[in-house]
Amino acid sequence: MASTSNRLPLRLIETFRSVFYTPIYVSVAGGFLEKEGLDVDFKTCPPEFAHPMSALNRGGADIAQSGIMRSIIASDWGAETVPVHFAKINSRDGFFVLSRTKPDPSGLEPFRWESLKGAKLIPVGFSPMPWASLQFALRRHGVEPSELDLVTGLSLDEAVTAFREGKAEYIHVPQPTAEQLLDDGSAHLAAALGPENGHLAYSSFAATNQFLESQPETVQRFTVGFANALDWLAAHDAPEVGEAVAGFFPEVSLDLVVKSVARLKAQDNWPTDPVLAQPEYENLHDILIAAGLAKERQPYSKVVRADIVETALASRK
């Protein structure tokens, strides 16, 4: 633990509020970052920034939760340097495809992906990565994304309203939205993308090269605190975790927060340590290339710094 007499400030942001990012909330609310001597200002990415990478580049944050796709795409477009990802938050896709009707009324048959052909589906509209991941799963099951009738251009709230009004047969959503729709009977689970696409470097912490080089002690303390938070998350059950993070979801019942946590925990969504391994990076890269979001493979060493977590984990022993 760092000396609390030498406290350091840290501006931390997330892309949007979702139970998907429970490891962040555990690290903040559980005091794991505070115990390392950090005074953390944590918030969702402010509207003046297009996304967290923009906030980093424009000096609006020190460390950001972001999909690693942002740095890969920027590099693919020719950027000489990009924000570097150094600690993993999510090791699977945490989004779900829900259906207005039970895929099989008897409950005996699994969801059939070909049932999406010609169907109206509302995809996630606030980030390109969830749709890219869904496209990858569709193609694995012999369904071309062009065969779906997409209802696009909606915010998450608008998407849920449209789905409830019967304007689509399927909707693609994160937690706790998925749990809310399942709980009130508006939807039935069709597919979970996490198990479909396996382990990949879906969401992680990033910072500019300049910050990583000029503030190594802050980065070290942050990474140690986050690793400790992941230990706690792995060791505690859904009710305990839900209770710990419920304050971040004041408009959602504790019961639904717990159910959201339980569903994500059951599919191994969160890592037990923050190592951003190259195989998971390459798996994500496969999805980006298949979706046309990246043309060429970008070097792991340009986008990821594995040494930061290695040093932090070693310091805890």
Smallest CA-to-CA distance from 220 within 42, 33, 53, 21 is with: 33
pLDDT attached to residue 218: 97
The confidence score (pLDDT) of residue 128 equals 82
pLDDT for res 5: 66
- pLDDT tens for the chain, residues 1 to 317: 554 569 999 999 999 899 999 999 999 999 999 999 999 999 999 999 988 888 998 999 999 999 888 899 989 998 888 899 999 999 999 999 999 988 776 666 788 999 999 999 999 877 788 999 999 999 999 999 999 999 999 999 999 999 999 999 999 999 999 999 999 999 999 999 999 998 999 999 999 999 999 999 999 999 999 999 999 999 999 999 999 999 999 999 999 999 999 999 999 999 999 999 999 999 999 999 999 999 999 999 999 999 999 999 999 86
Three-state DSSP class for 171? strand
Shortest CA distance to 68 belongs to which of 301, 285, 312?
Answer: 285
Under a CB-based contact definition with an 8 Å cutoff, are residues 90 and 202 in contact?
yes
Cα of first residue to Cα of last residue in the chain, in angstroms, is: 12
What b-and-e string marks burial along 96-131, b requiring 16 or more CB atoms within 10 Å of the CB?
A: bbbbbeebeeeeeeebebeebeebbbbbbbebbbbb
Integer Cα distance of 297 and 96 in angstroms: 28
pLDDT of amino acid 108: 64
> Considering only the top CATH level, what class is 96-197?
alpha beta
Q: Which of 274, 281, 280 is nearest to 300 (CA)?
A: 281
Question: CA angle at residue 15 from 195 to 32, to 5 degrees?
Answer: 85
Say if CB 102 and CB 219 are below 8 A apart.
no
- pLDDT, residue 125, reads 77
pLDDT at 107: 63
Class of domain 8-92+200-315: alpha beta
Confidence (pLDDT) at 106: 65
Contact 32, 225 (CB under 8 A): yes
Q: Where are the domains of the chain?
A: 8-92+200-315, 96-197
H helices present in the chain, as ranges? 22-29, 52-57, 69-76, 128-140, 156-164, 177-183, 193-197, 209-214, 216-235, 238-245, 254-266, 278-290, 300-303, 307-315
Task: Answer for the pair 92, 267: CB distance below 8 angstroms, yes or no.
Answer: yes
User: Is residue 293 classed as helix, strand or coil in its secondary structure?
Assistant: coil
Residue type, 61: A
